[in-house]
Amino acid sequence: MRSCSKMEHYEQLIFRNATVFDGEAFIGARDVLVQDGRIAAVGASLDSPSSSPGDGESGPAPAREIDATGLWLCPGFIDLHCHLRDPGQTWKGDIASETRAAAAGGFTTVVCMPNTQPAIDTPSIAEYVREKALREGLARVSPAGALTRGREGLQLAELAGLYAAGCRIFTDDGADTLRPDVFLHAFEFLSMLPGARALIHTEVPELAHGVMHEGEVSARLGQSGIHHLSEDIASARAILTALAAGCPVLITHIASGVGTLPLVRYGKARAGAMGRPDLVAADCTFNHLLLTDEAVERYGTAAKINPPFRSEADRLALLEALADGTMDALVTDHAPHTFDEKSQELSAAPFGCVGFELMLGLLLGHIAGTQTPAGEITVERLLSLMTSGPARILGVGASLDSASSIAGKAGQDPPLQSQLSPAALADFQPVLIETSPGRIAAGLRADLCLIDPEARWTIDPQQLVGKSKNTPFGGWEAKGRVLMTVCGGRVTHDAL
Ligand SMILES: [Zn+2]
């Protein structure tokens, strides 16, 4: 079922009669033809692939036709926030194992956080991740660069070098950047690099010494709490800094729905008034849509994550933000840890849980169709927050394939606003890491996933293909299963 031997490269792939979700909406039943790594055609009753002379022993396999009647064909999912644990913590997960898990969950592009060992704070570490992913990976991997050296919050990391090595997202994730002056300088620097964005794990460390949300449950359990002000104050700082510096920011894994989302809405309104609607964006994990701090009582360390599961009011506020458009993307914060690590007492166990293989099934099984004061959370909304939403944040469309395009000659959207002069950019040849388009249309990269929307299954952590199995969702019912994932025309997951 999950054997790698089936991950073949076909000369042509044709999906027959698939219910196509194009990144924004379902567009009806279509045939989709994949050839040379791209979507060659989308249409009704496309001709059968001509059996070309490539049936020899070597080279890609010949055409494969898939009857996709009743199945959804979606753009490959994009995750802006995950941990692959490579380099340095490969007993938890590595690029090969975790991109296999990503492919099994329908993901074709993942942005991995730089809190590795060593941190991704120099071009050589970013290159290590990029090259290993190209060699061993089953998804496109876009490494996020650290904002500061060693993620210590004191001195800027080699931001230009990291950018040149392909990083577009910059963060000290796992923690926030300590010094506000360094934080501002980092944002000012990034504002000069087209397509770069700060991703901020918003946390005031002095308010975040605990192991779970500070509230009634932490008091009852006698556990130290992480106050919601930790997130709210740090989010205000990140949003105001982004607006002041003209540097796009992504407020990531929001848990404090009640306190932080109004700040995001304020930031978006001001960014819009400035004519820079790209400046403020927000995401949350699917985990925080499903659980509250009571989960710590029920699931123990499996539900210890950072930021923590907060109150029911916070959870409802996050759901409303999905429906009203405040949220730009959904992320996994896939965070593998071993059984032994998670078997320690609550105060000692590490934060985090895995997510790649669970996100779709839990969202379709438990969140789709939810009513909020801002309206219903539709399937289309959920899927767009995993495809076109994150693609927009990665600036797909603003293709940066040469210094000349950085200097602004090529027509991109959104318009590149670099303060660097063309002369300063002349020697600057940044690597471009291809990411998924988050859409289905002829001509685009063939990054796709095929889903059985009616499949119902029970989550068994031991069945997960990633190296670690840490999740609070064992035994939960899920709906919708990824049957096949295609990345650049290559089949990266095949459960058909
Ligand atoms: Zn984080």
Which CATH architecture fits 75-393? Alpha-Beta Barrel (3.20)
253 C-alpha to center of ligand 1: Å?
A: 7
Which pLDDT belongs to residue 239? Answer: 98
Residues of the chain where predicted confidence (pLDDT) is lower than 50: 1-6, 54-56, 397-417
398 C-alpha to center of ligand 1: Å?
A: 26
Q: How far apart are CA 17 and CA 30, in angstroms?
A: 5
306 C-alpha to center of ligand 1: Å?
A: 6
54: CB partners within 8 A, 6+ apart? 11, 60, 62
Residue 347 buriedness (CB in 10 A; 0-12 / 13-18 / 19+): exposed
Which pLDDT belongs to residue 45? Answer: 84
CATH 3.30.1330.10 assigned to 4-73+440-456+477-494: no
170 C-alpha to center of ligand 1: Å?
A: 12
Q: How far apart are CA 186 and CA 124, in angstroms?
A: 20
Q: How far apart are CA 340 and CA 343, in angstroms?
A: 5
For ion ligand 1, residues whose CB falls within 5 Å = 173, 201
What residues are labeled active site? Answer: 333
Which pLDDT belongs to residue 46? Answer: 84
C-alpha pair distances (Å), 436 with each of 69, 79, 407, 413, 485: 25, 10, 24, 16, 12
271 C-alpha to center of ligand 1: Å?
A: 24
Give domain limits for the chain: 4-73+440-456+477-494, 75-393
Q: How far apart are CA 203 and CA 109, in angstroms?
A: 27
Count of CB atoms situated within 10 Å of the CB of 59 = 10
432 C-alpha to center of ligand 1: Å?
A: 25
Which pLDDT belongs to residue 177? Answer: 85
Which pLDDT belongs to residue 422? Answer: 61
